[in-house]
Amino acid sequence: MKIIVFGASGYAGSAIYQLLKNDPQTEVIGTYLDDPGMFDDLYKLDVNEPESFSAFFKQIQPDAVVWSVMSGPYEDELINEGLLHLINHLSPETKLVYISTDFVFADGYGPYTEDSVITKLPDEHVLSTYANAKVKAERFIRNDLINCVILRAGPIYGKNSLGKRDERTNQLLTSLRQGETTAYRDDLIRTFVHVDDLAAAVKAFAMNELTGVYHAGPNQRASFYSFMRRMAESLGYDKELVQRAEKEELPDKEIPKNTALATEKIVKETNLHFRPLP
Ligand SMILES: NC(=O)c1ccc[n+]([C@@H]2O[C@H](COP(=O)([O-])OP(=O)(O)OC[C@H]3O[C@@H](n4cnc5c(N)ncnc54)[C@H](OP(=O)(O)O)[C@@H]3O)[C@@H](O)[C@H]2O)c1
């Protein structure tokens, strides 16, 4: 089985790529944009560039593709160009596993199931570029494809199989090592998912027959404050260095409060396991 991982140099993508590489049943081809990271066998490709995208895709002719691409301020371009190129090249035989986000639930009244309605943030909202592009991407995929899985994840954490950690934990570690206190919000509730568990879920969906929307993660929710206290303790530091942040938000800039994901469906329909919080 031949699988392309778009974004194989990234935090989640590198864990997915490594996991697939370890499986003798799969031939995996990974792409990067600027920095291949730990790998020396990735293919340099800008998914927004139509000619090179087309040449690459036609040469590989994959059985499955994984979208683990992210581009922060340019997310909209990535969806309008890169994702649409991909959708236009996919035949019904090729399965897409698209990694989406809990930020598609902009109203913030979770927990949300796979059937909950996705909503956009107001265009002027500081977080709207990424969140709304992901909403748009899910709509494109659901309108145009059948052989696909939209796998939604909340904040992804943990040291991946290549030793790479998420940025949030890296920042926490920097403060902890200096003995400094850091404050996190206690009113922002999320479903945190370990990067290696997410990678295992992506691999399973790339190789199995299931299609549709699935939420990844344990059946456990936490605020950033309580999650980071657990994380500090699990890393061997004093959890009291993690403090509760004061909430100071303008109403039109509010961050969605509870975007927790109900994860019963994935547990019921697959044999995947998501580890409890640290
Ligand atoms: N991180 C989270 O907490 C989180 C939570 C929920 C969902 N997600 C989703 O999970 C997926 C992976 O996220 P991540 O945190 O692993 O992202 P990441 O570490 O920022 O990696 C992004 C990847 O996208 C590649 N890329 C960016 N622009 C590209 C372009 N124009 N053409 C080709 N490749 C391009 C990057 O290549 P270079 O490395 O070469 O620049 C990198 O491989 C994304 O779909 C994201 O929306 C992430």
For residue 71, report the distance from its CA to the centre of ligand 1, in Å: 6
The per-residue pLDDT for range 212-255, each reduced to its tens digit, is 999 999 999 999 999 999 999 999 999 999 999 987 666 556 89
Half-sphere exposure (CA, 13 Å, Cβ side) for 42? 23
For residue 61, report the distance from its CA to the centre of ligand 1, in Å: 22
Residue 179 has pLDDT above 70, yes or no: yes
Contact of 265 with 112, CB cutoff 8 Å: no
What SS3 state is found at 119?
A: strand
pLDDT value at residue 252: 59
The per-residue pLDDT for range 18-71, each reduced to its tens digit, is 999 999 999 999 999 999 988 999 999 999 999 999 999 999 999 999 999 999
Could you report how far apart the first and last alpha carbons of the chain are, in Å? 35
The band of 263, judged by pLDDT with boundaries at 50, 70 and 90, is very high
pLDDT value at residue 92: 96
For residue 198, report the distance from its CA to the centre of ligand 1, in Å: 14
Estimate to the nearest angstrom the gap between the alpha carbon of 25 and the chain centroid. Answer: 25
Cβ contacts of 214 within 8 Å, gap of 6 or more: 114, 149, 150, 151, 152, 201, 205, 265, 266, 269
- Which domains does the chain carry? 2-158+192-220 (3.40.50.720)
What SS3 state is found at 91?
A: coil
Q: Which atom of ligand 1 is the closest one to the Cα of 47? A: 32
Residue 182 has pLDDT above 80, yes or no: yes
